[in-house]
Structure 1
Amino acid sequence: MNPVSVTQGSGPVVLGLPHTGTFVPDAIMATLNENGRKLADTDWHIDRLYAGLLPDATTVTANFHRYVIDANRDPQGESLYPGQNTTSLVPLTDFDGAAIWAEPPTATDIDTRRAAFHAPYHAALEAELKRVHALHGCAILYDCHSIRSRIPFLFEGTLPDFNIGTNQGRTCAPAVEQSARQICERAADYSSTSNGRFKGGWTTRHYGQPAQGVHAIQIELAQSTYLQDEAAPWAYDETKAAKLRPHLAEILTTLADLAPTLGGTS
């Protein structure tokens, strides 16, 4: 199994999909406990949800599961949200705080997985951002995510439907965040927030360098917006998705149209 799949497009937008993969090597699967083998914390069907919304977009998809190693975490293991419950580079628990390993990975295991999975994904993502930047004078990284709307271990209450993350505006030009926020706020029957519980993961924070013409934004969707139920078997809901997809397409198209104004300053 190739750890990463790339579909090259000619436009300025690169879609990152770090958490839709479900591949777990047999040797690693054997060390997960019964709870871990459920792979519950997948961004279920997020690749299907975004498919075809922006035909000239580039996509970079991690095929491995986040329990193998999380492609959206600092490779050195630094926490994204110090002082808050979260999951690590190789998570030891699921999003509910329950153990997922019968045999937790060793430091050597983590080093091996970093080289075999995390590094190839980011090498591919960095290469595509450079390629797109060379074509357009800028690149817009849109990191695609989803999560259950109610997870008491990670946040109180019910998560908004659209969760925009730009690390408090540091990872993109103001127009990028503002455009996405306005579209989300106009979307009837959906709730939204910017830089709330989710401020953008390591990918957004690492690559978002607006002064160099690389703009990064993360959208974390509540899975209730497109799944039949936020529980196994995690079935895709065609009716819900058909209502949601036009809003996502509008965001992507609007960001692509912004590209000529987004060159860097250095």
Structure 2
Amino acid sequence: MNELKSVTFKPTDILQDPFRIELPEQHLAPFLFNAPHSGRCYTQEFRQSSRLTEAELRSSEDAFVDKLFSKAPECGAPLMAANFPRAYLDLNREPYELDPTMFKEPLPSYAKSSGARVGSGLGTIARIVSERKEIYREKLGLQEGLDRIDSLYKPYHQALRRQMAMTHVEFGYACLIDCHSMPSRVLRNANPSIRPDIILGDRYGTSCHASLTSAAKGILTHLGFKVDMNRPYAGGFITQHYGRPIKGLHALQIEIDRSLYMDEDTLTPVAHFEELVTLFGTFTELLMQSASDAMLPSAAAAE
């Protein structure tokens, strides 16, 4: 399990290697797996600018989600993952969802400076982590924020769009599985007998063909998970932005209860973590086998 522990990188590492794409030997089905919030590269510069401990900063991570889906390339699908953390830059937001109270200078006119996510401190550059803890000691320079978007956000989404486009060209359609995790406290009031282990988000049926959602839910249920749909996570910016079923572009978000696979206080994997990796590998393989012509652009348009 040592390879799953946090590693501190040098400040230049996130610019030199901001994300990775693990490609299969052969792309066997029109699927792409994405883990935008599992990055754990905390630079010295970022940590010094924060009033929080590294453990507190890491509370916003979808820790180890990239590891849970690490068998995707073996199954024949690319796996894309950020190396920088969500607390530094959130890829599951619009590019310029910025909180004006965070910056020393006024925001540019094109910034989206209002809305629920910005107001709650969870914009493209977050003001808080979980439990509403303020990240920064002082306000950021506007250029620093814009530089993060230019050097990290835009290249990531450019690469993601390219992977989707190549998959679409090769197979006639593309399915993006956007992989996340949720704090167990989100569902602490739910009835234990029906409390979901996993929540699938398809933007209430608008981000992917119904057959993809149905297959994912059926497979996960068969594997022993309790699965719910869209509440409280219907899918974020990535699911909404990349899901265009009528064009043969499908996006489905998956949220996994963190307590299933790690100790949320120490951010360490559970003893049976590798068994879960194998289980999600089985899910990946079976989901890829569920691909059907119903997800082609012409089929989606005809419905």
Pair in the same fold by TM > 0.5: yes
Distance 1:242 1:21 in 2: 22
Partner of 1:91: 126
1:5 aligns with 2:5: no
| AA aligned opposite 2:265 | A
1:22 aligns with 2:56: no
Distance 1:52 1:34 in 2: 34
Provide the identity percentage.
24
| 8 Å Cα contact 2:75/2:281 also seen in 1 | no
1:75 aligns with 2:95: yes
Partner of 1:237: 270
Q: What is the CA-CA distance between 1:203 and the residue it aligns to?
A: 0.8
Distance 2:117 2:43 in 1: 31
Partner of 1:61: 81
| 8 Å Cα contact 2:33/2:79 also seen in 1 | yes
Q: CA 1:186–1:104 in structure 2 vs 1: closer, same or farther (change >3 Å)?
A: farther
Q: Deviations over 1:43-70 (max 9, x none)?
A: 1111211111552110111111111110
Q: What is the CA-CA distance between 1:245 and the residue it aligns to?
A: 4.1
Distance 2:222 2:197 in 1: 13
Q: CA 1:48–1:238 in structure 2 vs 1: closer, same or farther (change >3 Å)?
A: farther
When normalised by structure 1's length, the TM-score is 0.87
Q: Deviations over 1:168-226 (max 9, x none)?
A: 111100001111122233443x3221010111111111101111111110101001111
- Written as runs of structure 1 = structure 2, the 5 A alignment for 1:1-266 is 1=13, 2-9=17-24, 10-11=27-28, 12-35=30-53, 38=56, 39-53=58-72, 55-77=75-97, 87-151=122-186, 157=189, 160-188=196-224, 190-227=225-262, 229-232=263-266, 234-239=267-272, 241-243=274-276, 245-246=278-279, 248-261=280-293, 262-265=295-298
- If each structure's helix is expressed as a fraction of its own residues, which one has the higher value? 2
Q: What is the CA-CA distance between 1:76 and the residue it aligns to?
A: 2.5
Q: CA RMSD in A?
A: 2.5
Distance 2:119 2:252 in 1: 22
Q: CA 1:84–1:199 in structure 2 vs 1: closer, same or farther (change >3 Å)?
A: farther
Q: What is the CA-CA distance between 1:243 and the residue it aligns to?
A: 4.8
| AA aligned opposite 1:58 | P
Q: CA 1:218–1:74 in structure 2 vs 1: closer, same or farther (change >3 Å)?
A: same
| AA aligned opposite 2:173 | C
Distance 1:66 1:44 in 2: 10
| 8 Å Cα contact 1:35/1:99 also seen in 2 | no
- Deviating more after overlay: 206-215 vs 20-29: 20-29
Partner of 2:102: none
Distance 1:263 1:131 in 2: 15
Q: Secondary structure at the match of 1:30?
A: helix
Distance 2:65 2:164 in 1: 21
Q: What is the CA-CA distance between 1:149 and the residue it aligns to?
A: 0.7
| 8 Å Cα contact 1:162/1:222 also seen in 2 | yes
Structure 1 residues not aligned, in runs of 5+? none
When normalised by structure 2's length, the TM-score is 0.77
Distance 2:180 2:286 in 1: 19
| 8 Å Cα contact 1:87/1:95 also seen in 2 | no
- Deviating more after overlay: 201-210 vs 49-58: 49-58
Distance 1:34 1:82 in 2: 21
Q: CA 1:172–1:60 in structure 2 vs 1: closer, same or farther (change >3 Å)?
A: same
| AA aligned opposite 1:48 | K
Distance 2:138 2:117 in 1: 26
